[in-house]
Chain A
Amino acid sequence: MKFAYYPGCSLRGTGRAYEDSLLAVFRALDIELEELEDWNCCGATTYLSFDELTSYALSARNLAIAERMQLDIVAPCAACYLVLNKTQHYMHDYPHIDQLVRGALKSIGFDYKDRVKVRHPLDILWHDIGVETIRSKVKAPLKGLKVAPYYGCQIVRPYATFDDQYAPVSMDRLLEAAGAEVVSYPLKTRCCGGSQKGSLPEIGLDLLSYLLIEAKKCGADVIATACPLCQFNLEVFQSEVGSRQRPISMPIVYFTQLLALALGAPFSDIGFKYSVVPIQPVLRQKEIACA
């Protein structure tokens, strides 16, 4: 099994823990990755409101490169995953967008045939690898660790067909296979506010506080995320949320970090060194090795 790996800008910036741990998980499960050659930014949700049509052409360049490599894309970042999928959907649905994007790609030497699939790691791990295989490869089960699975918006909405749009379970099942205890977390697909924390801080903090307080109420020790922006918001602004109400200390990790830990990857290699809220106290309390 081999994929073209599309890290996206965040995984090379504030989301490096996601990249480190994702690569460790894929290595442990013998999934081969080749980085998408000279990939460019997908445009995220921001470029769309600046110039919609150009944003499709920019993200389609990545699709065309993957096609040239004859590989399907794996896009771990929620925004990248959504934008690449959206570009494909809109090219199918609107002939004028299709024509415009193909024309633009031709101008830089790509003859795009639309043969690429865009996949999310959750999808690959759940459907292609399977829970049983993962369970059989777990070396250090996360026994007793209570995890709130937080999917955020853009992985499951609106295009993902691999899981439910409001009550997804893929991450739940994967973390259970890793030996963790997954708590029922009703806000698992509620928006974290995205970049709103930067532009309208009060509203951003409100949205974050619901998520954190609810996770605490559900009895979670940690929140597992699958999106660099959700992870950043929940972790870095936690102290601000805490200063408005009761102080909160909840480690926010990528689901891949927990999986990698269970699959026996060394603790120091899977991005925990970038944490603002350390996970070690919780792990020690549960007697899970974190040396």
Chain B
Amino acid sequence: MELKRTVKFEADRDPEFAYWISHTVGGERIRHCLQCGMCSGACPLSLYMDYTPRRLMHLSREGFKEEVLSSFSIWLCTCCYACMVECPKDINITHLMYALKERAIREKFYPKRFPIPVMAREFAHMLLRSGRITESWLVLRIFLHCSLLRLFGMSKLGIKLLRSKRLRFAHEHIERREEIKKLAESVRTAKERMAL
């Protein structure tokens, strides 16, 4: 049996993470959080979460980076903004979930072959390449990267959609694709310049 200390000491926390969350876009008021729990109450997914939104807010502002970024909760968030609308302190909780996801993807804190980060990546690549999303190809690519088995399990769904003439395989794209590349490039250099 592996013995593990279950209580964390103050020194185990990551002050950089605590600083980052309260200085990132949307996190300005996280220190005002009352821990009232309105966010968790409003969240339709909180009953499936390992850490509810209220606990995530507290853990992240105190610098528990490991717990927060490896928590399953951030992937459960569907961005329905219920928490944010309810928050009496106007904390931009939904946006913080995005920020946490972005950081977890960047630092590779997620279960391997987990579809949500794969979807974010595939979506981004398709958008940068063609400027538009072709839903059928996006779904195919996600399953190709996550689980071929599930893709076969979905053949019934595919047939249903084909029958309703909703599945289209023609690749959508914009005319001036170079503009998308230029936009992304310009943001990248600006981010470096502004050290974001």
Contact = CB atoms under 8 A, between A and B. Distances in A.
B52 interface: no
Interface stretch (B5-13, B29-37, B53-61, B118-126): B118-126
A61 B160 CA distance: 36
Interface in A46-72: 46-54, 57-58, 61
A222 to B, nearest CB: 17
B109 to A, nearest CB: 13
Contact of B119 (A51, A166, A199, A275): A199
Contact of B183 (A61, A153, A166): A61
Interface in A194-225: 194-196, 198-200, 203, 207
Contact of A41 (B102, B127, B184, B185): B127
A57 B116 contact: no
Nearest to B81: A157
A49 B183 contact: no
B190 A52 contact: no
Interface in B166-196: 166-168, 172, 174-176, 179-180, 182-188, 190-191, 194, 196
A53 B81 CA distance: 20
B172 A158 contact: no
Contact of B78 (A12, A94, A191): A191
A154 interface: yes
Nearest to B194: A96
A12 B132 CA distance: 10
Given A100-B194, A273-B165, A274-B165, A196 B102 contact: no
Interface string B34-78: 000000000011001000000000000000000000000001101
B84 A53 contact: no
Contact of A53 (B48, B136, B191): B191
B99 interface: yes
A39 interface: yes
Contacts of B124: 46-47, 50-51
Contact of B196 (A96, A107, A108, A153): A96
A10 B94 CA distance: 23
B194 A49 contact: no
B183 A158 contact: no
A195 B79 CA distance: 10
Contacts of B121: 50
Contact of A158 (B85, B142, B157, B188): B85
Most buried by A among B84, B101, B124, B183: B183
Contacts, number: 172
Nearest to A40: B131
A196 B132 contact: no
Interface in A77-115: 90, 94, 96-97, 99-100, 103-105, 107-108
Given A157-B84, A236-B161, A207 B132 contact: no
A249 interface: no
Given A47-B120, A198-B139, A199-B115, A41 B131 contact: yes
Contact of B133 (A9, A61, A90, A104): A9
Nearest to B167: A14
B134 interface: yes
A52 B135 contact: no
B164 interface: yes
Contacts of A105: 183
A104 B160 contact: no
B17 interface: no
Most chain-B CB neighbours within 10 Å: which of A46, A90, A195? Answer: A46
Interface string A13-41: 11010000000000000000000001111
29 contacts: A9-B134, A9-B135, A9-B172, A13-B136, A14-B161, A16-B166, A40-B179, A41-B132, A44-B123, A46-B123, A46-B124, A47-B124, A50-B124, A58-B184, A61-B180, A96-B196, A104-B183, A154-B80, A157-B80, A157-B85, A158-B81, A165-B85, A189-B82, A191-B45, A194-B79, A195-B119, A196-B76, A203-B48, A274-B164
Interface of B: 25, 44-45, 48, 75-76, 78-82, 84-85, 94, 98-99, 101-102, 105, 114-116, 119-121, 123-124, 127, 131-136, 139, 142, 157, 160-161, 164-168, 172, 174-176, 179-180, 182-188, 190-191, 194, 196
Given A50-B124, A52-B98, A158-B94, 18 more contacts: A13-B135, A39-B174, A40-B127, A40-B179, A41-B131, A47-B127, A49-B102, A52-B25, A53-B196, A57-B183, A61-B183, A104-B182, A107-B186, A154-B79, A198-B119, A199-B114, A199-B115, A203-B48
